[in-house]
Amino acid sequence: MCGIVGYIGDQEAYPILIKGLHRLEYRGYDSAGISLINAQGTLSVYKAKGKVSALEKSVEGKDVSGTIGIAHTRWATHGEPNATNAHPHFSQSKNLSLVHNGIIENYKALRTELEKNGMTFCSETDTEVLVQLVEYMMNTHRCDLYTAVQLALKNVIGAYAIAILEKSHPDQLVCARKGSPLIIGVGTTSSGRKEFYLGSDATPIIEYTNQVIYLNDEEIAIMDRTGRLDITNLSNVKQTPQLVTLQMNLDQLEKGGYPHFMLKEIWEQPNALRTCIRGRLNVVDKDVLLSGIIDHKDKFINCRRIIICACGTSWHSALIGKYFIEEACQIPVEVEYASEFRYRNPVIRPDDVVIAVSQSGETADTLAAIQLAKEHGAFLYGICNVIGSSIARATHTGTYLHVGPEIGVASTKAFTGQVITLCLLGLAIAKEKKSIPEDLFHLLVDELQKIPDKMQWTLENNKDIDKFAQMFTYCKNFIYLGRGYNYPVALEGALKLKEISYIHAEGYPAAEMKHGPIALIDEEMPVVVIAPKRGMYEKVVSNIQEIKSRKGKIISVVTEGDEVVKNMSDYSFVIPDTRDCFVPLLAVIPLQLLSYYVAISKGRNVDQPRNLAKSVTVE
């Protein structure tokens, strides 16, 4: 949800900023812009509607020199996506340029006030208000940029990560954050001085340095060419920067020969999950080791219930987690849309454990939900993929997915990573609570260990989905059905199709079909049924009969060797047998591939579907 890049040092800034924007493009891609100060002290701003490549084209032949700059890729909130509303925004005198990620909630009131004081605006954005406010503070308080930013931000309600250039001080870069992420990378120039990089996440930085500082809420930083980095809070109290070493490599950010990140990430799942369970699942000793649970086992043994807050795909994995934890641990689990939870005055008690599930660790609603839970004294557990992310830092403890950076906007490996992590969590709590028999615990540990190999098998044995998917290029609707553990898989399958192919799709618990959706079924309607030969198999078979007798097209996910459902279906995907609770980890794979290939056959941009962004840092 908007990406920010910045640089100050000895190198030419433009190539660093453009490469960084490409890496951050998953956060927003409706417009992009860049601001530089050249050796003559000219502060320029270039902006273009569309992708970063459109910006690159638009600056051809223009002066993009300079060793200091900021850049932005936008996901529109206030004002339509066009070059005027794109960032960076100039202040009235054009002495300042600013990029922003987040939402300034009181921007209207601030704008009215500034207009009364003679300031004029070019765009409809909340961001322009911010840069004008900073300039207004500089003028009225006759102070420097840093102080003006502090004063301005004290008047601001909302979320922000910002970076600012000042024409009259071309040797310094100022940035600040609250609610939206911002990372400072610290590198070394050829002359041995420090140089600084800025990024909404680590992906634009890792190429140059692995030494980073995660800016905290309400912190402002100033960096200059002498290598000075000062951080204070809004009240001007000096903060000590904590330098962290990034554990990430560049290969993880490249497509590695695949046409899209999404396909790469689908195929990466077996290895990603091996990394996720490494050191946590011990088949020799039949043990599960999650330090977050071991260190806080009393919280889990004594809690009255667990509440899981999440959004989007993460909400679907949370639902699978609920089924597993309730079954294994005998603890009631509620799964909440974070956006609803945060505003509906929920009952939260100190003996509740609240788990936030979030790939990015930055989703604004999920972050707000756990902040609310914290105020009520609940114990907070984070399940995130992005290391050092806001949710990971705001929770008391947690577990990282360790599935590597996920770049494709439609989540795939993070979903299976979340599901397996929630299963590990359930097993770890069950062990402490002794809530399942030991032999069952051992069986589950053994089976979970086999899942990555079974995922690999699933990928290898469904290779013709690409040809099959073309049949659905012109379909307008899809229904996805599943029962028990596979109901959330139906939801996730439908979401994947909607997100990247723009075909309308609904996921339902299979038995609910007769309470409404069955009216939609005719020979035009493809119905994807997850029908493994496990619990409720016979019941799902009956549901398939009901669809068939109404001439619906059946696409099924079946267990290898099951000829019954296969023969009833127009098309089948096969998965190996596994325990009910782990079927989602396999069944979702053909559904991910189906959505991918349907989207490809429709000519969609699967990695950057329209209107979506990977990291939703606004509510």
Q: How far apart are the C-alpha atoms of 595 and 612, rounded to whole Å?
A: 16
Two structure tokens written together for 588: 């979702």
Which residue, 99 or 409, has its beta carbon nearer to ligand G6P?
409
Helices 145-154 and 126-141, interaxial angle, to 10°?
A: 120
Query: DSSP readout, 122-157?
Result: SSS-HHHHHHHHHHHHHHHHT--HHHHHHHHHHT--
* Shortest reach from residue 26's CB to ligand G6P, in Å: 9
Which residue, 90 or 400, has its beta carbon nearer to ligand G6P?
400
* Shortest reach from residue 409's CB to ligand G6P, in Å: 5
Contact residue for ligand G6P among 161, 165, 222, 311 (CB under 6 A): 311
Compute the Cα dihedral for 248, 250, 251, 256 and give only its sign: positive
Which residue, 85 or 358, has its beta carbon nearer to ligand G6P?
358
Q: How far apart are the C-alpha atoms of 270 and 526, rounded to whole Å?
A: 29
Site for ligand G6P in 589-618 (CB under 6 A): 612, 614-616
Query: Interacting stretch for ligand G6P, rule CB under 6 A, among 94-102, 239-247, 306-314, 588-596?
Result: 306-314
Give the SS3 label for residue 478.
Answer: strand
* Shortest reach from residue 116's CB to ligand G6P, in Å: 38
501 makes contact with ligand G6P (CB under 6 A): no
How many residues bind to ligand G6P according to rule CB under 6 A? 15
* Shortest reach from residue 421's CB to ligand G6P, in Å: 12
* Shortest reach from residue 81's CB to ligand G6P, in Å: 17
Query: DSSP readout, 338-375?
Result: HHHHTTS-----TTEEEEEEESSS--HHHHHHHHHHHH
**H or E element that contains 335:** strand 333-337
Which residue, 9 or 382, has its beta carbon nearer to ligand G6P?
382
Cβ pair 29, 52 in contact under 8 A: yes
Two structure tokens written together for 459: 């990928």
Distance of CA 238 to the CA centre of its chain: 31
* Shortest reach from residue 202's CB to ligand G6P, in Å: 15
Residue 16's closest CA among 63, 60, 65, 78? 65
Which residue, 323 or 415, has its beta carbon nearer to ligand G6P?
415
Question: Cβ atoms within 10 A of the Cβ of 83, count?
Answer: 17
Helices 269-277 and 413-433, interaxial angle, to 10°?
A: 30
Cβ pair 458, 289 in contact under 8 A: no
* Catalytic hit among 47, 413, 454, 614: 614
* Shortest reach from residue 142's CB to ligand G6P, in Å: 43
* Shortest reach from residue 353's CB to ligand G6P, in Å: 19
Which residue, 88 or 488, has its beta carbon nearer to ligand G6P?
488
Q: How far apart are the C-alpha atoms of 558 and 258, rounded to whole Å?
A: 28
Two structure tokens written together for 185: 């990378």
Q: How far apart are the C-alpha atoms of 48 and 443, rounded to whole Å?
A: 57
Distance of CA 31 to the CA centre of its chain: 20
Which residue, 209 or 366, has its beta carbon nearer to ligand G6P?
366
Q: Which three-class secondary structure string do you get for 43-67? A: EEEEEEECCHHHHHHHCCCCCCCCC
Report which residue's Cβ sits closest to ligand G6P.
312
* Binding flags for ligand G6P, 220-259, as an x/- string (CB under 6 A): ----------------------------------------
312 makes contact with ligand G6P (CB under 6 A): yes
Which residue, 205 or 392, has its beta carbon nearer to ligand G6P?
392
Query: Interacting stretch for ligand G6P, rule CB under 6 A, among 138-146, 311-319, 393-401, 473-481?
Result: 311-319
Q: How far apart are the C-alpha atoms of 356 and 390, rounded to whole Å?
A: 11
* Shortest reach from residue 406's CB to ligand G6P, in Å: 8
Contact residue for ligand G6P among 313, 421, 559, 595 (CB under 6 A): 313
Site for ligand G6P in 391-450 (CB under 6 A): 409, 411
Which residue, 43 or 338, has its beta carbon nearer to ligand G6P?
338
Q: How far apart are the C-alpha atoms of 134 and 149, rounded to whole Å?
A: 6
* Catalytic hit among 2, 276, 311, 581: 2
* Binding flags for ligand G6P, 334-373, as an x/- string (CB under 6 A): ------------------------xxx--x--x-------
Q: How far apart are the C-alpha atoms of 463 and 539, rounded to whole Å?
A: 29
* Binding flags for ligand G6P, 314-333, as an x/- string (CB under 6 A): x-------------------
91 makes contact with ligand G6P (CB under 6 A): no
Alpha-helix residue ranges (DSSP H) falling in 351-463: 364-375, 390-394, 413-433, 438-460
Q: How far apart are the C-alpha atoms of 204 and 6, rounded to whole Å?
A: 9
Which residue, 66 or 388, has its beta carbon nearer to ligand G6P?
388
Which residue, 85 or 314, has its beta carbon nearer to ligand G6P?
314
Query: Interacting stretch for ligand G6P, rule CB under 6 A, among 46-54, 308-316, 512-520, 538-546?
Result: 308-316
Two structure tokens written together for 113: 């006030």
Look up 602 and say whether it is catalytic.
no
Look up 614 and say whether it is catalytic.
yes
Query: Interacting stretch for ligand G6P, rule CB under 6 A, among 310-318, 346-354, 423-431, 449-457?
Result: 310-318
* Shortest reach from residue 488's CB to ligand G6P, in Å: 13
Residue 399's closest CA among 367, 428, 430, 362? 428
Applying CB under 6 A, the residues found at the interface with ligand G6P are: 311-314, 358-360, 363, 366, 409, 411, 612, 614-616
| Residues with catalytic roles | 2, 614
